[in-house]
Amino acid sequence: MPQRRPSTRQKRSKPLPRKDTARRGGVAEPLEVEIEFLPGLEPFLKAELQRLPGSVRIFGGSEDALRLGYSGRPRDLHRLRTATAVFRRHTFAVPRPKALMGHQVFQELLAFLDEVRQEADFGSFRFDAAGRESSTFLRLGEELERATGMRFDPEEGELLMRLRPRGEEAWEMLARTTPRPLSARPWRVRNMSGGLNAAVAVAMLRMAGVRPTDRVLNAMCGSGTLLVERALMGEAERIVGVDIDPEALEMARENLAAAKRQGQVELRLEDATALADREGSYDVIVADVPWGDAIGEHAANAQLYRDFLEEAWRVGSKAVRLVVLTHELRLFEGILEASRWRLDREVQVFHGGHRPKMYLLRK
């Protein structure tokens, strides 16, 4: 293992004073940002970007990331609910990572990290790069630890720095602006196995449309991801969650309490295929139905999907928007075909090795 070398660099443990956008010649320059999302959620993320207070210029991306310039407060970007994570970008004119330790470039790196550290408190940092276990990265980690006062924790570090080459003569750094991904919500105090990704939940709710006059039902609510996210979006006439598992309802209760939204949501221990509600009780129905990966559950799912679609038809208003998420695509689409529901829109999401679809259905 390489020895720690004494550093001659000046220690700078606190970030520099706040600056929202870089200024050059008195003109504010947009922040260079990369936003990561689950493939499939791009249209929802773009719609959210349009609602931000600052101006956004998208100049590239891939199936799971958008590159953009943002003229506004960096913290606005932390409000994005369909993003997985937000990164600040900086390109260093160096041929290899070792050169980041050259005096001038190292000062440039510290200035970049100071800006990122304005956005959140980071006690530690780590690298995500090819060769991150090499002696170069170990030394870079040690130098940064000394200069910033943050702990170098290669596995769990909070400030995640991604390094990747850009052409022959430059390396780009992406620094995540929050200690945890944005999709890991602070309200999630109870985790259900099979719990829904919060960014997907937001996309489902946006697909259904969000209006303050809506009466919303989350059938088969589990630990309450859709309920919490809907309650956080603002008022609704009514928000109801039902599940047949008391343990799942307890989790939903605790998650809602952590989000300070328990008073806004009614939880009921009930079978979603035989609800106590009258006809036409809901304007929005959302359901992340059981997927049933295990053999033997497919038959039960077929019955459940059929019965649920019938019950949703009964309790839905004339203009009800029903959004269902499943990865039993063939099974669900066959049942849908034979039902009275009309398919309005479908979106496939790539997530955790699965490729479920969200279906927006109308009468």
User: Which one of residues 2, 95, 131, 194 is an interface residue with ligand SAM (CB under 6 A)?
Assistant: 194
Binding mask 147-186 for ligand SAM (x = CB under 6 A): ----------------------------------------
Q: Are 79 and 56 in contact (CB under 8 A)?
A: no
Q: Quick one: which of 260, 258, 201, 267 has its CA closest to 239?
A: 267
User: Which one of residues 97, 141, 222, 292 is an interface residue with ligand SAM (CB under 6 A)?
Assistant: 222
- 266-269 and 282-288 as β-strands: parallel, antiparallel, unpaired? unpaired
Range 255-314, binding ligand SAM (CB under 6 A): 271-273, 288, 290, 304
Range 244-263, binding ligand SAM (CB under 6 A): 244-245, 248
Return the number of the residue (136 or 197) whose C-beta is nearest ligand SAM: 197
Which position's Cβ is nearest ligand SAM?
Answer: 222
Residue 356 engages ligand SAM in binding (rule: CB under 6 A) = no
Which of the ranges 33-41, 64-72, 134-142, 217-225 carries the binding residues for ligand SAM, by CB under 6 A? 217-225
Would you state the structure tokens that stand for residue 81, as one six-digit string? 């609910």
Residue 95 engages ligand SAM in binding (rule: CB under 6 A) = no
Closest approach of ligand SAM to the CB of residue 240, in Å: 12
Q: Quick one: which of 48, 132, 126 has its CA closest to 84?
A: 48
Would you state the structure tokens that stand for residue 356, as one six-digit string? 């479920």
Distances (CA, A) of 77 to 10, 33, 49, 226, 236: 32, 9, 8, 22, 25
Q: Quick one: which of 49, 42, 37, 67 has its CA closest to 347?
A: 42
Q: Measure the CA–CA gap between 207 and 345, rounded to whole angstroms.
A: 9
Site residues (vs ligand SAM, CB under 6 A): 192, 194-196, 220, 222-223, 225-226, 242-245, 248, 271-273, 288, 290, 304
